[in-house]
Structure 1
Amino acid sequence: MSLENFDREIYDLTNSELKRQTNYLEMIASENFTYPEVLEVMGSILTNKYAEGYPGKRYYGGCEFVDEIETLAIERCKKLFNCNFANVQPNSGSQANQGVYGALLNPGDKILGMDLSHGGHLTHGAKVSSSGKMYESFFYGVELDGRINYDKVADIANIVKPKLIVCGASAYAREIDFAKFREIADSVGAYLFADVAHIAGLVVAGEHKSPFPHCDIVSSTTHKTLRGPRGGIIMTNDEVIAKKVNSSIFPGIQGGPLMHVIAAKAVGFKHNLSDEWKVYAKQVKANAKKLAEVLISRKYNLVSNGTDNHLVLMSFLDKEFSGKDADMALENSGITCNKNTVPGETRSPFITSGIRLGSPALTSRGMKEAEFEIIGNKIADILDDINNKDLQISVKNELKELASKFIIYDKAMY
């Protein structure tokens, strides 16, 4: 029996979401459109299989084929990141980070990460996260120009003496210098952990510096700029750390791995290893750069005054409207983004003074600089007259027409 016939409510809601993704311009920097082949294997019979443990060392029988699948995923991941070890079992980036901490730290150990309000992530020590509750967390940030001051990071590290330093961000538009972070970590005898969830797709294409060989351990999601299924991975070149990671993930924080998702990760990695992937990643950066250029030309302030990667962070500290206001106005106009805190923030995290815009999803749809120039000007048009509801409706119709030229999924398939 089909889903349409068995559960019409879920079927209709799923199709409503398909229409939303089709008609709106998805510009949330952490979202992307995965490949049809990834969706296919995620909905396969592999979801039926329990496989606690690792290839060749399972606690369940009947794992000969899923062992081969997981081994493929591991080998492809290692080739992608040019590393010696990969664990492909984490169910998310947050769980991957939890696995890293579990492997290298004891409760109460000190960690140093980027402040959430400056572009870091909840799992980098935020007090509301388990990473901030289980460990004694300290933070570095960015200057008012939106860039990391590595000398200040070194000063903080020398005072705090953390056991582990986290480098990586969820809202940082500039390239991260892993070599400088290595120097800082070495100066205080700390592990260096890179969370490259946002930039991984650029890293593997050579469009961003690699965390290896500088970092002791690296985590990432497999969606975002990698464009695979939702999930997490952990990589290292250290054999001792590798064994600790495996134990930390299973049996430390997870039971049976999601074999349908691991297979989907393998499929995604095959795409990432192709020559076409390098073309895509280069376009992601080019599109973000064009967006930044247009917004700056329209007299909008961008944190760090531009971008080196897949995202731009707009600051409205000089405006009467908030990030939340801008988020809602753009949503009404057919553009999906997210409100975001900015350096020098004066509003609450629920209101904010900025928005974050990303290029990966629209690049996946086939859009290039010409389209991003149009979109950038439409964003500025809306924000220039943020309370004009008629303009929002007009722009929404225009952008729906633009989106119709870049259909990513065949409606008959899903």
Structure 2
Amino acid sequence: MIFDTEINEIIKEEFKRQNENLEMIASENFTFPEVMMATGSILTNKYAEGYPSKRYYGGCEIVDKAEVLAIERCKKLFNCNYANVQPHSGSQANQGAYAALLNPGDIILGMDLSAGGHLTHGSKVNASGKVYTSYSYGVDENGYLNYDEIEKIALEVKPKLIVCGASAYARIIDFERFRKIADKVGAFLLADIAHIAGLVVANLHPSPFPHAHIVTSTTHKTLRGPRGGIIMTNDEELAKKINSAIFPNLQGGPLMHIIAAKAVGFKYNLDESWKTYANQVIKNCKVLADELLKEGFKLVSGGTDNHLLLMDFSNCEFSGKDAQIALEKAGITANKNSVPNEKRSPFITSGLRLGTAALSARGMKEEEMKVIAQTISLVLKNLNNDEIIKKAKETTLKLSENFPLYKDLKC
């Protein structure tokens, strides 16, 4: 008997939406049923403040096993010496890293939000830009990181911490070059690889180790695990500071069901099949980018090396918001996004971010990307034509039916 029919109906509606739409938000993915099972497990009942073998509550001897397993798998996956798997999110992982390295008011240098950075990299509306004195770097006229310019800014502002990593940057990040800049100004280097972690562990993007002092990530996005965060380092002293920064400084009891789910996700990431999936994500995104370029659209940096691309509508009459709304009607879920030198409001934007991790998780490949690119083009070139958008919706529905999500999962 279902106790809460209202919530049950909402879950069914969302299940239907995810099944019938093409999910192209670059920060989202479809996790594994086993991860969802662990997330909804009895472990949700257990309070476990502290760390394995050093808890403040009794009865933690069993959940300790889950956390130790998650830690060991995480270390193996990223080839690092220390890992904290307790952060509730990527944002809190970054907060924990800052707390471990900095004092309030210290100077940080991170990627500007409109250039592809993240709120937690020093944005003035975020705690990272309020608690700390933040400066930013951007991209050049071609949409690429200009490391000489970043070095110049670092020499001027003399940060205690440089943050590298992005939420809307489609190219390879040179962590080694960032470390040289950090060393030149005597700064720590934090690599936030939330978006590219699944590619890093498949050896399809350079690893931030051994260059970064601390590495943070989410466990969803390209890793396909549960929603959550992790912090890693090779430095024992920093590991101690990180642990103290997360608990008791930022968080109380860890979410043991999520930590167990992280362990399950890491097991998938460690499997030989993972590289095949991650490689398909990149191949799909390159095809998508090439096809959109053929259709006459502008992409920031002219293409992609990873799982996402950023369409640039700066010279178009329509905005990123217009594109997002029209594509939603056609069954394609994406998100408006600022572009370098953004002229429009953050609520409107001149860009659209697209990712291929979730579509690849459904089994879609290059041929499907070509169809999707043509469908996106058709919609964006006919934003106000309801009949054409309706036909586009028929195409996306057919694709969704051919690549069903969670075939055997009952909702």
- Same fold flag (TM > 0.5): yes
How is 1:228-377 mapped onto 2 (pairs within 5 angstroms)? Answer: 228-377=225-374
Extract structure 1 runs of 4+ deviating beyond 2 A. 410-414
Contact map agreement 1:26 1:362 (CA 8 A) in 2: yes
Letter in structure 1 aligned against 2:97? V
Corresponding position: 1:40 with 2:70:
no
Contact map agreement 2:314 2:350 (CA 8 A) in 1: yes
Contact map agreement 2:144 2:301 (CA 8 A) in 1: yes
Deviations 1:283-325 (Å, cap 9, x if unpaired)? Answer: 0000000000000011100000000000010001121111111
Provide the alpha-carbon RMSD of the alignment.
0.7
Aligned residues: 411
- What's the secondary structure of 1:6's corresponding residue? coil
Counterpart residue number, 1:59: 56
Letter in structure 1 aligned against 2:267? K
1:400 pairs with one of 383, 394, 397 = 397
Q: 2: distance between equivalents of 1:248 and 1:72? A: 22
Contact map agreement 1:329 1:386 (CA 8 A) in 2: yes
Contact map agreement 1:144 1:344 (CA 8 A) in 2: no
Q: 1: distance between equivalents of 2:116 and 2:396? A: 29
Deviations 1:93-131 (Å, cap 9, x if unpaired)? Answer: 000000000100000000000001111000000011000
Shift of residue 412, structure 1, vs aligned partner: 4.8
Corresponding position: 1:197 with 2:194:
yes
- What's the secondary structure of 2:402's corresponding residue? coil
Q: 2: distance between equivalents of 1:229 and 1:274? A: 17
- What's the secondary structure of 2:144's corresponding residue? coil
Counterpart residue number, 1:114: 111
Counterpart residue number, 1:86: 83
Report the identity percentage. Answer: 66
Q: 1: distance between equivalents of 2:386 and 2:206? A: 43
- Return the TM-score normalized by structure 1: 0.98
Q: 1: distance between equivalents of 2:59 and 2:347? A: 49
Q: 1: distance between equivalents of 2:339 and 2:201? A: 28
Shift of residue 413, structure 1, vs aligned partner: 2.3
Shift of residue 411, structure 1, vs aligned partner: 6.3
Shift of residue 43, structure 1, vs aligned partner: 0.7
Shift of residue 144, structure 1, vs aligned partner: 2.1
Structure-2 change in CA distance of 1:286 and 1:412 (3 Å): closer
Deviations 1:317-366 (Å, cap 9, x if unpaired)? Answer: 12111111111110111000000111121111111111000000000000
Counterpart residue number, 1:127: 124
Counterpart residue number, 1:385: 382
Contact map agreement 1:311 1:356 (CA 8 A) in 2: yes
Q: 2: distance between equivalents of 1:84 and 1:176? A: 22
Corresponding position: 1:136 with 2:159:
no
- Return the TM-score normalized by structure 2: 0.99
Structure-2 change in CA distance of 1:384 and 1:103 (3 Å): same
Corresponding position: 1:50 with 2:42:
no
How is 1:144-155 mapped onto 2 (pairs within 5 angstroms)? Answer: 144-155=141-152
2:214 pairs with one of 212, 217, 222 = 217
- What's the secondary structure of 1:313's corresponding residue? strand
- What's the secondary structure of 1:301's corresponding residue? coil
